[in-house]
Amino acid sequence: MASREYGQFCGLARAMEMVGERWTMLIIRNLLTGAQRFTDLHKGLPTIPTNILSARLKQLEEAGLATRRALPHPDRAVVYELTDYGRDLEPALIALGRWGARTLTEPRPGEIVTAESIAMSFRTTYRPEAARGVTVGYEVRMGDFTLRLQITDGELAVGIGPHPSPGLIIERLTGYPIRELMSGSKTPGEVLRDGSVRTEGDPALLGRFSEMFRF
Protein backbone atom coordinates (compact mmCIF):
# COMPACT_ATOMS: atom_id res chain seq x y z
CA MET A 1 0.00 0.00 0.00
CA ALA A 2 2.49 2.59 -1.19
CA SER A 3 0.47 5.67 -0.46
CA ARG A 4 0.75 7.59 -3.70
CA GLU A 5 3.24 6.79 -6.36
CA TYR A 6 5.55 8.94 -8.40
CA GLY A 7 5.82 6.64 -11.38
CA GLN A 8 9.60 6.78 -11.48
CA PHE A 9 12.02 3.92 -11.12
CA CYS A 10 14.20 5.76 -8.63
CA GLY A 11 15.36 5.12 -5.09
CA LEU A 12 14.53 8.62 -3.96
CA ALA A 13 11.03 8.39 -5.40
CA ARG A 14 10.53 5.06 -3.63
CA ALA A 15 11.74 6.53 -0.36
CA MET A 16 9.41 9.48 -0.64
CA GLU A 17 6.50 7.19 -1.38
CA MET A 18 7.20 5.30 1.83
CA VAL A 19 8.17 8.04 4.27
CA GLY A 20 7.37 11.27 2.47
CA GLU A 21 3.92 11.86 3.87
CA ARG A 22 3.36 14.47 6.48
CA TRP A 23 4.41 13.44 10.01
CA THR A 24 6.00 10.14 9.00
CA MET A 25 9.60 11.31 9.37
CA LEU A 26 8.93 12.81 12.77
CA ILE A 27 7.31 9.61 13.96
CA ILE A 28 10.39 7.71 12.85
CA ARG A 29 12.59 10.28 14.57
CA ASN A 30 10.74 9.64 17.81
CA LEU A 31 10.87 5.88 17.42
CA LEU A 32 14.65 6.13 16.97
CA THR A 33 14.91 6.66 20.72
CA GLY A 34 13.29 3.30 21.34
CA ALA A 35 9.92 1.59 21.49
CA GLN A 36 7.04 3.90 22.26
CA ARG A 37 3.37 3.58 23.00
CA PHE A 38 0.69 5.38 21.07
CA THR A 39 0.32 7.86 23.89
CA ASP A 40 4.06 8.45 24.15
CA LEU A 41 4.17 9.24 20.47
CA HIS A 42 1.26 11.59 20.85
CA LYS A 43 2.97 13.33 23.76
CA GLY A 44 6.09 13.84 21.67
CA LEU A 45 4.04 15.09 18.71
CA PRO A 46 1.21 16.89 20.48
CA THR A 47 -0.23 18.54 17.39
CA ILE A 48 -0.65 15.42 15.28
CA PRO A 49 -4.29 14.35 14.97
CA THR A 50 -4.74 10.93 16.51
CA ASN A 51 -6.32 9.51 13.38
CA ILE A 52 -3.27 10.53 11.36
CA LEU A 53 -0.92 9.04 13.93
CA SER A 54 -2.96 5.89 13.80
CA ALA A 55 -2.89 5.79 10.02
CA ARG A 56 0.86 6.45 9.82
CA LEU A 57 1.66 3.71 12.29
CA LYS A 58 -0.39 1.31 10.24
CA GLN A 59 1.46 2.33 7.09
CA LEU A 60 4.83 1.99 8.78
CA GLU A 61 3.88 -1.47 9.94
CA GLU A 62 2.64 -2.53 6.51
CA ALA A 63 5.79 -1.21 4.88
CA GLY A 64 7.92 -3.17 7.32
CA LEU A 65 9.48 -0.12 8.96
CA ALA A 66 7.95 -0.66 12.37
CA THR A 67 6.33 -3.40 14.37
CA ARG A 68 3.35 -3.26 16.66
CA ARG A 69 3.78 -5.41 19.71
CA ALA A 70 1.56 -6.02 22.71
CA LEU A 71 3.56 -6.00 25.92
CA PRO A 72 3.22 -9.00 28.24
CA HIS A 73 0.63 -9.07 30.91
CA PRO A 74 1.05 -6.60 33.79
CA ASP A 75 0.77 -3.38 31.80
CA ARG A 76 -1.27 -4.45 28.82
CA ALA A 77 0.05 -1.84 26.46
CA VAL A 78 0.93 -1.71 22.80
CA VAL A 79 4.33 -0.50 21.79
CA TYR A 80 5.62 0.49 18.39
CA GLU A 81 9.21 -0.16 17.52
CA LEU A 82 11.36 0.35 14.46
CA THR A 83 12.57 -2.66 12.56
CA ASP A 84 16.18 -2.79 11.40
CA TYR A 85 14.91 -1.65 8.04
CA GLY A 86 13.28 1.38 9.62
CA ARG A 87 16.30 2.14 11.72
CA ASP A 88 18.39 2.22 8.56
CA LEU A 89 16.73 5.54 7.82
CA GLU A 90 18.75 7.16 10.59
CA PRO A 91 21.54 8.46 8.30
CA ALA A 92 18.95 10.09 6.06
CA LEU A 93 17.17 11.70 8.99
CA ILE A 94 20.48 12.95 10.32
CA ALA A 95 21.40 14.47 6.97
CA LEU A 96 18.02 16.16 6.72
CA GLY A 97 18.13 17.33 10.31
CA ARG A 98 21.60 18.74 9.87
CA TRP A 99 20.49 20.68 6.83
CA GLY A 100 17.36 21.95 8.55
CA ALA A 101 19.28 22.97 11.65
CA ARG A 102 20.99 25.72 9.71
CA THR A 103 17.90 27.90 10.02
CA LEU A 104 17.44 26.98 13.67
CA THR A 105 18.28 30.00 15.77
CA GLU A 106 15.44 30.74 18.13
CA PRO A 107 12.25 28.76 18.67
CA ARG A 108 9.42 30.40 16.76
CA PRO A 109 6.41 31.51 18.77
CA GLY A 110 4.48 28.47 19.89
CA GLU A 111 7.24 26.03 19.02
CA ILE A 112 7.99 23.44 21.61
CA VAL A 113 11.17 21.56 22.43
CA THR A 114 10.65 17.89 23.08
CA ALA A 115 12.98 15.24 24.41
CA GLU A 116 13.03 13.62 20.99
CA SER A 117 13.92 16.81 19.16
CA ILE A 118 16.87 17.24 21.51
CA ALA A 119 17.83 13.62 21.04
CA MET A 120 17.82 14.31 17.32
CA SER A 121 20.04 17.34 17.78
CA PHE A 122 22.60 15.16 19.55
CA ARG A 123 22.55 12.79 16.62
CA THR A 124 22.94 15.53 14.03
CA THR A 125 25.75 17.30 15.83
CA TYR A 126 27.68 14.17 16.75
CA ARG A 127 31.11 14.03 15.14
CA PRO A 128 32.38 10.44 15.10
CA GLU A 129 35.83 11.63 14.05
CA ALA A 130 36.10 13.51 17.37
CA ALA A 131 35.06 10.41 19.29
CA ARG A 132 37.36 7.78 17.85
CA GLY A 133 37.76 4.99 20.37
CA VAL A 134 35.96 6.95 23.09
CA THR A 135 33.72 5.20 25.58
CA VAL A 136 31.78 7.43 27.96
CA GLY A 137 28.25 7.96 29.25
CA TYR A 138 26.48 11.24 29.84
CA GLU A 139 23.25 12.09 31.55
CA VAL A 140 21.84 15.38 30.36
CA ARG A 141 19.15 16.94 32.54
CA MET A 142 17.13 19.61 30.82
CA GLY A 143 14.57 20.35 33.50
CA ASP A 144 11.50 18.92 31.78
CA PHE A 145 13.28 15.76 30.77
CA THR A 146 16.50 13.83 30.98
CA LEU A 147 18.48 12.23 28.18
CA ARG A 148 21.21 9.66 28.22
CA LEU A 149 24.09 9.58 25.80
CA GLN A 150 26.20 6.48 25.59
CA ILE A 151 29.27 6.54 23.43
CA THR A 152 30.83 3.12 23.12
CA ASP A 153 34.05 2.92 21.18
CA GLY A 154 33.00 5.94 19.15
CA GLU A 155 29.43 4.76 18.55
CA LEU A 156 26.65 7.02 19.81
CA ALA A 157 23.37 5.78 21.29
CA VAL A 158 20.81 8.31 22.47
CA GLY A 159 17.97 7.48 24.84
CA ILE A 160 15.35 9.22 26.91
CA GLY A 161 15.58 8.94 30.66
CA PRO A 162 18.44 8.79 33.16
CA HIS A 163 21.73 7.05 32.49
CA PRO A 164 22.41 4.02 34.70
CA SER A 165 26.07 4.88 35.26
CA PRO A 166 27.04 8.21 33.74
CA GLY A 167 30.61 9.40 33.62
CA LEU A 168 29.23 12.92 33.81
CA ILE A 169 25.86 14.42 34.65
CA ILE A 170 25.18 17.71 32.89
CA GLU A 171 22.35 19.67 34.40
CA ARG A 172 20.93 22.73 32.74
CA LEU A 173 20.15 25.47 35.25
CA THR A 174 19.40 28.56 33.14
CA GLY A 175 19.50 29.61 29.48
CA TYR A 176 20.66 27.30 26.72
CA PRO A 177 24.12 26.18 27.79
CA ILE A 178 24.03 22.93 25.81
CA ARG A 179 23.32 24.74 22.57
CA GLU A 180 25.97 27.32 23.39
CA LEU A 181 28.51 24.57 23.97
CA MET A 182 27.59 22.87 20.69
CA SER A 183 27.71 26.04 18.66
CA GLY A 184 30.99 27.04 20.28
CA SER A 185 29.62 30.38 21.46
CA LYS A 186 30.64 29.44 25.00
CA THR A 187 33.44 27.28 26.34
CA PRO A 188 32.97 24.58 28.97
CA GLY A 189 34.70 26.85 31.45
CA GLU A 190 32.30 29.68 30.73
CA VAL A 191 29.08 27.73 31.16
CA LEU A 192 30.40 26.32 34.43
CA ARG A 193 31.46 29.72 35.72
CA ASP A 194 28.34 31.64 34.74
CA GLY A 195 26.15 29.15 36.55
CA SER A 196 24.05 28.10 33.56
CA VAL A 197 25.15 24.52 34.04
CA ARG A 198 26.00 22.23 36.93
CA THR A 199 27.93 18.98 36.56
CA GLU A 200 28.42 15.88 38.60
CA GLY A 201 31.36 13.61 37.84
CA ASP A 202 34.61 14.22 36.04
CA PRO A 203 34.44 17.87 34.84
CA ALA A 204 37.01 17.16 32.14
CA LEU A 205 34.33 15.14 30.36
CA LEU A 206 32.49 18.40 29.64
CA GLY A 207 35.35 19.46 27.39
CA ARG A 208 35.20 16.17 25.55
CA PHE A 209 31.44 16.63 25.21
CA SER A 210 31.85 20.00 23.53
CA GLU A 211 34.29 18.47 21.05
CA MET A 212 32.11 15.51 20.13
CA PHE A 213 28.89 17.50 19.64
CA ARG A 214 29.32 20.42 17.26
CA PHE A 215 27.09 22.20 14.79
With a CB cutoff of 8 Å and minimum separation 6, the contacts of 66 are 28, 31, 57, 60, 80, 81, 82, 83, 86
Of 13, 17, 23, 90, which one interacts with DNA (CB under 7 A)?
Answer: 23
Binders in 66-85 for DNA, by CB under 7 A: 68, 77-80
Specify the residue, 115 or 205, whose C-beta has the smaller distance to a second copy. Answer: 115
Give the whole-angstrom CA distance, residue 201 versus residue 97: 31
Of 39, 152, 174, 185, which one interacts with DNA (CB under 7 A)?
Answer: 39
Q: Which long-range contacts (CB under 8 A, 24 or more apart) does 131-134 make?
A: 131/156, 131/212, 134/208, 134/212
Q: Does 103 bind DNA (CB under 7 A)?
A: no
Stretch that binds a second copy, among 9-17, 142-150, 159-167, 202-210 (CB under 8 A): 9-17
Which of a second copy, DNA, none binds 73 (CB below 5-8 Å, type-dependent)?
A: none
Of 49, 128, 162, 195, which one interacts with DNA (CB under 7 A)?
Answer: 49
Residue 72 CB, shortest distance to a second copy, in Å, is: 32
Give the whole-angstrom CA distance, residue 111 versus residue 168: 30
- Residues in contact with a second copy, counted by CB under 8 A, come to a total of 52
- Residues in contact with DNA, counted by CB under 7 A, come to a total of 24
Give one word for 189, left, alpha or beta, with left for phi > 0 and alpha for psi -120 to 50: alpha
> What residues does 171 pair with on adjacent strands?
141, 198
Q: Does 57 bind DNA (CB under 7 A)?
A: yes
Which of a second copy, DNA, none binds 13 (CB below 5-8 Å, type-dependent)?
A: a second copy
Neighbours of 97 (CB within 10 A): 18
Instruction: Report the 3 state secondary structure along 139-208.
Output: EEECCCCEEEEEEECCEEEEEECCCCCCCEEEEECCCCHHHHHHHCCCCHHHHHHCCCEEEEECCHHHHH
| Contacts with a second copy, residue ranges (CB under 8 A) | 4-16, 18, 20, 22-23, 25-26, 29, 45-47, 85, 88-89, 91-104, 107-108, 110-114, 116-117, 120-121, 124
| Contacts with DNA, residue ranges (CB under 7 A) | 3-4, 21-23, 37-40, 47-52, 54-55, 57-58, 68, 77-80
